[in-house]
Amino acid sequence: MVNQISLLQKSINNKQEITRKEAIKKIGNYGKYAALTALGTYIILNPQKAQAQSPESPGTGF
Provide the residue range defining the domain that includes 42. 18-48
Indicate whether 62 belongs to any domain.
no
pLDDT per position in the chain (62 positions), as tens?
556 666 656 656 666 788 888 887 877 777 788 888 988 888 888 766 655 566 677 777 66
In a domain, 56, yes or no: no
Residue 26 placed within a domain: yes
pTM, to two decimals: 0.33
**Considering the domain boundaries, does residue 43 fall inside one?**
yes
Q: What is the pLDDT of residue 11?
A: 58
Q: Is residue 37 part of a domain?
A: yes
Q: Name the nearest CA neighbour of 10 among 20, 18, 2, 22.
A: 2
Q: Is residue 41 within 8 Å of 48, Cβ to Cβ?
A: no
- Domain total of the chain: 1
Residue 11 covered by a domain: no
Q: Is residue 22 part of a domain?
A: yes
Query: What integer pLDDT is reported at residue 54 of this predicted model?
Result: 63
